[in-house]
Structure 1
Amino acid sequence: MDGSQQQGGGGGRPYRSHLRPACIPCRRRKSRCQTAADNTACVTCLAHQTECYFPEDSQTSESPEPARRRRRRAEPRASVEASGLTPVRAGVRATASFHGGAKANTSASMAGSRSTAMGRQASIPVSNAPPISVAAMSRPGQGYHDRVEGSAMALGSDDDQHLNLHIVGPATTNDSQVLSTYLSGIAGATRSTRMIVPEPASCSRPVLFTEVQKRPVGVILNRSPSAEKLEIIEKLLEPHNEAVIDEYFKKVNICLPLLDEASFRRQYHEDKTRISPALLACLYAHTIIYWQSSPTLSRYRCPESRFIWNLASEAIYSELHLSPGMSIIKAILLNIGGRPTTSLIGNGVLLGSAVSMAHSLGLNHNPLPWQIPQAEKYLRMKIWWSVLVHDRWTSLAHGTPPHIHKAQYDVPPPTIEYLRQSSTEANSSRFEITARVFISLVALSEVLGLFLQYVYSVRRERLTTTDLELALNQWTEKLEGPCRRIVLHGSHLEINGAANLRLAYLTAKLLLQRIQLEAEKQTDGVNEEQIMNRYSAARMTSEEMLMLIQDFQKDHLGDFWMAVSSFAFPSAVNFLLRCALETENTPEGLVQSHSFKIAYDLIAALRSHQEQHKWDLGDICIAQHAEIVEKILAGVAPDEQGGNSSSLDLQEFDASILDHVFPSIWDPLQNAFTW
C-alpha cells in the first residue's frame, strides 16, 4: 500500500510533512502551521498579523541530527543515574567537559563559579574554544567566525535578530547566577542568561546578561525604515559615497575614534547591508561639513546638508525604536556631534538614550578581564570614551547635569596601546600624536566632570575651588611633548584635533575662573582687590581665546571640531560684557573697557571666518551678541521692553537686563551656581 492509501485510511494519523518545521510564533501559540505555496508567511500568522519567522538551525526529517541530539541528551542522564550525583554536580562535570558552543562554555563558567563560591573541590578543565563576543551570545544558530565578524565590531543593526542582550543589575546577579547554575545541569531547562567570566588571574566579578525582546510586540517589519532613508542619502551623494567615508576616517575618526576602520571597510565592501543604516546615514551627514575643506570633494557641488541631516535623524529615531543595539550608540554620537548645532533639546534626548543604552549593554564596566575577543574589548572602551566626552561637554554647553557619574564606571583611561590595536595607521607618527591629543581630551573631560559636579551640586558637601584648580594644574603638568605646547602656547595647531584641544582647555580654564570669581563674591569679608584680580585673570583667558581664533588659518577651520565648542564663544562674550558693566561707571568707560574690546574683537573674528570660509562654530555667538554689541558701541542699549533709549546711564543700569537680551540657554551656567 502506498503513502496516499495510508493517508486515506479512516483511523490512521493524518500525514504531516516535516520538511519544513512550524514557525516560532505558531510554536509559542501551539497552533498548526500551514504555509500557502505563494506566500512565505503561514496562514495563522497572517490571520494574527504577526511576523512569521522560522528557526535558523532547522533540519530536514532525513537528517540524522535529531537522533544524535537525543543520544547526546540521553548520555548525561545515564551518567547521572549511574554516578548517583545530584543534577547540579552532574551538570558541573558535563558542561565542563563540553566545548562545542557558546551555551556550553557559558554553563561551564557558571558551574565553575558556583562550585568555587560553595567551596567545592571541583576540577574544571579550561575550554580551548576562542572567547565569544557579548553580542554573539544571543545568536546560538551561527558559527563562531560569523558571530565575531558580524557582532564583535557591532556595525550592524541586527534587524534579523529578535532578541537583544541587557545587563543584569548587581542587586540580582547572584540570584540569577545560582538559578542558572542549577538549571545548567538539567537537560532542556537552560535560561536565556549569558555570563561573561573574567580571566582566571583577574579579581573582577562575572557579569550577567539576559535576553530581552528587541522590537515592540506586534510590530511587523518588512523593510527597515532607516534603510529607506539611507538609500535616499546615498542617491544624493553618488558617486562620492566612498570619498565621504574616506574623509570621515581622515578628519573625524582619527581624532575621536569611534569605529574600527579595518572592520568597517571590510564590511562595507563585502556586504554593506549588514551595517546599521542609521549609523551609515549619520556618518554621511556628519562628514558633509568637511566637504568644502576636502581636496577631493570640494571640486563638486555639495548636497543640501540640512535635508541629509533630517533624513539621518529620522533613521536614528526609527532604529532606536525598532532595533536598538550597540550600533545605535555610535549613530547617536555621530548625530549629536554633527555640525551645525540646531536642535538643543533633541540632542539632549538622544544623548540620554545613548548613555542609557551604554549602561544596559555594560559599556561602563572594564572589559579587559573578560573572556571575550580582544577586538570587542577595545571597541567597547572606545565607545565608552566617546560617550563620556560628549556627556561632559554637552552638559557644559546645555546647562544640564551630566548623565555619567565617576563612581558608576571603571573603564580604564585610553592609552596608546589600546588605541593602536584597531588603527590602520598604528605604526605612523601621525597616529601617535593624534592619539595623544585624544588621550589628553579624555583626561580633560574627567577634570571638567569635577567642575560640573561643583556647579550643579545642590548640597553643601562639595569640592572647594582649590580642589578644582589643583585638578586642572595636575592635568597640565602631566602633558608631554607637542600636547603640552598645544595647550600652553597654542602652537602645533596643524596636528589633527590640536585646535579643538586648545579651545577646550581655554573653555575649562575660563569656567574655573568664573567659579572662583563667584566664590570670592560670596565670602564673608569681600576683598575688592582679590575680586579685581579674578576679573583680570578671566579677561586674560578670554583674550587667549581671541588670539587663538584670530590665528586660525583655513586648514585649522576645516579640521575636526566638537560641535559643542560653538557654545564656548557666546558664553565668553556674555561674561566679558558682564565684567565691563560691573567694573565701569560711564558709557565711555564701558565702550573703552578692555572686556568690551575683547568681546567686540572676538565677534569680528568669528564673523570674518564665517564670511570667508563658512565656519559654522561662530554662528550662535554672532546671532545672539553681534547686534547688542553694536548698539552698546553706538551708545544705544535696549530696555527691558525691547525698546531703545537714547543714552546709557550706567549708574542706574541693572546688569540683570542681560538675562533678557542674552537668553540663558546660550550661557547656561550664568545662573547655575547655587550657594
Structure 2
Amino acid sequence: MHLCLMSALQAATPTLRRPCDWCRQRKSRCVREPGQQKCARCILHRHECTYVQGPVPRRRLDRQQSPTRTEDFGLNGLSPSPPGQAVDAASPSRLTGTLGLEPHLHSTYIGPASYHEPTLLDLKSVSTSVNQDMGHPRRVNQSSAFITSADSTSASESQRISDLDQIEASIQPFGPALVKVYFQIVHPLFPILDKGVFLEKYARSYREFSPPLLAAVYLVALDWRLFDRALTKATRVPDTAVLEDLAMRAMSDDMKRAKLSTLQAGLLLLQRVRSTSSTLPAQLLALGQSLGVHVDCSDWSVPDWEKSLRRRLAWALYTHDKWGAIVHGRPSLIPTQIDHSDVGDWDVGPCTLVDFPEATDTGAEEVEGIVDAGLGRAAFIQLIELTKIFSEIVATFCSVGATKKGGLLSRIGTTGTMSLAKPLVMKLREWHSSLPDNLQLGTTYSHRLSTNGPLHLSHMAAELTIHRALLRTLSADTPPALRSTIRTAARARLASAMKLIESLQPEHTQSFWGFAAASQVAMIGSFAGLLWATSAEAEEAVEFVNQLERLRWALQMRASAAPFIHEALRMLDDEVGDLGALRTATSVDYMSWD
C-alpha cells in the first residue's frame, strides 16, 4: 500500500526533484524529461521508477567549514552573499537534463561509422552505471546517441579543484568585476556561453567550472579592465602570463573529460593573440565532433537553451576553422559547401535570433550596456553568412590543387581565374549591400562600443583574397589590357582597405575583434607589398611604399589601447619589413629590375 501511495504521489507531482530509489542507490543523477513518468535511466534499463526510500538526512555545513563553497555571488550584481546566507543546492538548476554541461559527467558522440552498434546500446546491461569505466548510453533521438562517463574515470577531481583554486587566487579580488566586464563587452559579439547558466554556477562557487573556462573568461576580460572602475584603481594587476599558463595546462587535462565547457574554453583561448598554440584549432574541431556539435540537435531530448548553445558553438567553431586559413595558412577541415545534403557531415541548423535566449531580456544591462547586445547578435549572424562565402573563396583560389604548379589556376590562366572570381565578387557585393544601416562601419552610438568593425574588416579580407589570387596569375603572356584592369582593381581595393583602417574610431578599436583580426590587418600590408613587388614602373612602386608607411602610421596611432592592432604591427614588420628604406633604391635602380 505504501508503494502505491508513493507511485500516486509521483504521478501527481511530476516536478519532484529528489532522485528515485534506483538512481539514489547508484549515486547517479536522476533526470526526468517533461511528460515522462519515469526518469531517463529507469526507462533505459526498464526499471520501476519508485520513491519508496526516504532521503538520506543531510547535515548543513557552516560556511567556514564547507570544503567546496568559497564565496557565493548573487546572479545580478555578482556581489558576495550576506554572511550566513547559503545558496540552496537542492533548488532547480538549469543544468538538469543537459548533455554537455552536467556536473561530474562527460559525454562522447557515437557516430554512424563507430564500432558501436546503436541498436545494441539500448540493450546495455542493467549493471552498467556512470560510476563504471564503460559509462552508459544516452539516446537523444532516433539516430543520435552518446556514451556518458563519470569524470572520475578520466581525470583527477582533486587536480581540478587545485587548478581552480590557483586560478581564483591569481585574480583575487577581481573575479566578479572581470565576469561583469566579460558579459558587457565580449559576450555580445562572441556569444559562445549561456549567460544564465554561467552566472547561476558562478553564484554558487567558482569550483563548479572547468578550470580552463574560468581562466579563459578572466584572461579575455582583462584586456578591457579599464572599463571597470575597481580594476582601473587597482594597484596590483593580475599576471596574465601566469593565468594563461594555468589555462593552457588545465586545458590539456580537461581534454580527458571534455564537455561543452572545454570547447568554450578553447575558443576563448584562441582569442589570445600572444602565445596560443597553432594546433589548438584542429584539436577543438576534433573535440567539437566528439561532443556532437556538428549534428543537428533540433529534436534532441535536451533543454532548448542547450540546443541554442550548441548551434552558436558550432558556428563559432565553423568561423574559426575558415578564417584560420588566413591566420595559420592551413586548409579548412570543415566541408566547403553547407548544403545539408544527405551525404554531408556538417548538419548544423542555421543560427537565428531564436538561438539567443537573452534577446527577450529587457534589463538595464541589455538596453544600456557598453555594447548594444542586439547589434552584437546581428553581427554574429552576419559574420556566419560572410564566412560561408569566404569558405568558397579559399576553396577556389587557395587550395593546394588550385595553386600548385600545373594546377587549376595555372591551367585556366588569368582569364579563367577572372571567370571564377566574378560570381564570388557578386556574392560579396550582395552581402555587403544587404547589411542594415546599424551595421554599417560609420554607424556609432554615444557611450557605446561599436560591433561593426570586425564585420567590415573580414569583408575586406575576403575581397583581398580574390584580388591577391588574380595578381598571382599575371605573367608575361597576360594581355596588357587585362593586366591593367586587374592591377587597377587591386589598387582600388587597397585604397578601400586603407580608408577602412583610417576610419576606425575608439568606439571600434576598443570593441572585441576576435582571433583573426590581427592577421586580416597584416594581410592589407602584405597585399600592398605584393603590388610593390610586381610593379612594372618605379613611380608605381614608390606609391605602394607610401601606402605601407601610411598603413603603419594609422596602426601606430591606434595600437596602444588595442591588442590586436599592436599584434598586427608586429606581423606587418615581420612580413614586409621597412620598404621605406628602399625608397631611394627604388627610384634610382628599379627600372633595371624589369
Instruction: Give the alignment's TM-score, normalised by structure 2.
Output: 0.73
Match of 1:567 among 500, 519, 524: 519
What is the deviation of 1:652? 4.7
Task: Judge conservation of contact 1:375–1:422 (CA < 8 Å) in 2.
Answer: no
Counterpart position of 1:237: 171
Q: What pairs with 1:514-525 in structure 2 (closer than 5 Å)?
A: 514-519=468-473, 521=474
Alignment of 1:508 onto 2:468: no
Contact 1:565 1:617 in 2 (8 A): no
Per the TM alignment, residue 207 of structure 1 is displaced from its structure 2 partner at its CA by 0.7
Relative distance call for 1:601 and 1:99 in structure 2 (3 A) is same
The alignment status of 1:246 with 2:167, answered yes or no, reads: no
Cα distance, 1:311–1:622 mapped onto 2, change above 3 Å: same
Distance in 1, Cα, partners of 2:128 & 2:217: 43
Correspondences of 1:186-225 after superposition (within 5 Å)? 192-197=136-141, 206-211=143-148, 221=156, 223-224=158-159
Q: CA deviation at 1:310?
A: 2.0
1:577 to 508, 526, 529: 529
C-alpha separation between the residues in 2 aligned to 1:104 and 1:59?
A: 12
Task: Tell me which structure has the larger Cα radius of gyration.
Answer: 1
Per-residue CA shift, 1:44-77, capped at 9, x if unaligned?
A: xxxxxxxxxxx983389xxxxxxxxxxxxxxxxx
Rounded Cα–Cα distance in structure 2 between residues aligned with 1:267 and 1:478: 40
Q: Which residue of 1 aligns with 2:399?
A: 456
Letter in 2 for 1:608: M
Deviations 1:522-568 (A, max 9, x none): 7x962322222222222222222222222333332211111221012
Q: Give 2:5's aligned residue.
A: none
Structure 2 runs not aligned, ≥5 long: 1-21, 28-34, 47-88, 130-134, 339-343, 410-418
Query: Which of 243, 249, 258 does residue 314 from structure 1 map onto?
Result: 249
CA distance in 2, matches of 1:496, 1:397: 24
Within a 5 Å distance, the mapping from 1:143-542 to structure 2 comes to 148-149=94-95, 152=98, 154=100, 158=103, 160-161=104-105, 164-171=106-113, 176-181=117-122, 183=123, 192-197=136-141, 206-211=143-148, 221=156, 223-224=158-159, 226-294=160-228, 296-301=230-235, 302-320=237-255, 322-338=256-272, 340-343=273-276, 346=277, 348-405=278-335, 406=338, 407-420=344-357, 424=361, 428=367, 430-454=372-396, 455-458=398-401, 464-483=420-439, 485-486=440-441, 490-492=442-444, 496-519=450-473, 521=474, 526-542=478-494
Q: Could you tell me how far 1:513 is from its partner in structure 2?
A: 1.8
Alignment of 1:596-607 (within 5 A): 596-607=545-556
Instruction: Give the deviation of 1:356 after TM superposition.
Output: 0.7
* C-alpha distance 448-295 of structure 1, shift in aligned 2 (>3 A): farther
Is this contact kept in 1: 2:108–2:148, CA < 8 A?
Answer: yes
The offset of 1:335, in angstroms, is 0.3
Cα distance in 1 between the residues matched to 2:290 and 2:211: 22
**1:557 paired residue number:** 509
Shift of 1:370: 2.0
- SS for the counterpart of 1:309 is helix
CA drift at 1:617: 4.0
Would the alpha carbon gap of residues 216 and 271 (structure 1) be closer, same or farther in structure 2, given more than 3 Å must change?
closer
User: Does 273-282 or 605-614 show the bigger shift?
Assistant: 605-614
Query: In the aligned structure 1, how far is the partner of 2:163 from the partner of 2:126?
Result: 46
> How far is the alpha carbon of 1:648 from its aligned partner?
6.3
Letter in 1 for 2:247: A
The CA distance in 1 between the partners of 2:359 and 2:181, in whole Å, is 18
User: How has the CA–CA distance of structure 1 residues 498 and 294 changed in structure 2, closer, same or farther, with 3 Å as cutoff?
Assistant: farther
Letter in 2 for 1:341: R
Matched with 1:57 is 24
- Given that residues 358 and 364 in structure 1 are in contact (C-alpha distance below 8 angstroms), is that contact kept between their aligned partners in structure 2? yes
Letter in 2 for 1:371: S
Distance 2:517 2:216 in 1: 20
Q: Secondary structure at the match of 2:558?
A: helix
The Cα offsets for residues 288-307 of structure 1, whole Å up to 9 and x where unpaired, read as 11123555533334333233
For 1:332 and 1:260, the matched residues in 2 are separated by: 16
Q: Does residue 631 of the first structure (1) align with residue 571 of the second (2)?
A: no
Superposed displacement of residue 435, structure 1: 1.4
Task: Tell me how far apart the structure 2 counterparts of residues 472 and 324 of structure 1 sit (CA, whole Å).
Answer: 37
Q: Using the alignment, how far apart are the partners of 1:445 and 1:333 within structure 2? A: 17
Amino acid at match of 1:167: Y
Helix, strand or coil: the match of 2:192? Answer: coil
For residue 385 of structure 1, what is the amino acid of its counterpart?
Answer: W
Q: Distance in 1 between matches of 2:207 and 2:128?
A: 36
SS of the counterpart of 2:470?
helix
In the TM superposition, what is the alpha-carbon distance from 1:151 to its structure 2 partner?
6.6
Shift of 1:154: 4.6
Paired residue secondary structure (2:246): helix
Give 3-state SS (helix, strand or coil) of 2:287's partner.
helix
* Residues 529, 213 of structure 1: alpha-carbon distance in 2 compared, 3 angstrom cutoff: farther
Q: How big is each residue's C-alpha offset from its partner over 1:444-489, in whole Å with a ceiling of 9 and x where there is no partner?
A: 1111111121211526789932332233233234433322x33xxx
RMSD: 3.6
Q: What are the superposed Cα offsets for residues 626-673 of structure 1, whole Å, 9 maximum, x if unpaired?
A: 75223123x368xxxxxxxxx96324549xxxxxxxxxxxxxxxxxxx
- Percent identity reads 19
The one-letter code matched in structure 2 to 1:279 is: L
| Aligned equivalent of 2:557, options 599, 603, 608 | 608
TM-score (normalizing by structure 1): 0.65
Q: Structure 1 residues 276, 544: closer, same or farther in 2, change over 3 A?
A: same
Letter in 2 for 1:165: S
Tell me the secondary structure at the aligned position of residue 332 of structure 1: helix
Distance 2:360 2:269 in 1: 23
Aligned to 2:30: none
CA-to-partner distance for each residue in 1:290-341, whole Å, 9 max, x for gaps? Answer: 1235555333343332332222222212322x42222110000010112x33
Q: Which amino acid aligns with 1:194?
A: R
Q: In structure 2, how many angstroms separate the alpha carbons of the residues matched to 1:577 and 1:98?
A: 65
Determine helix, strand or coil for the equivalent of 1:408.
coil
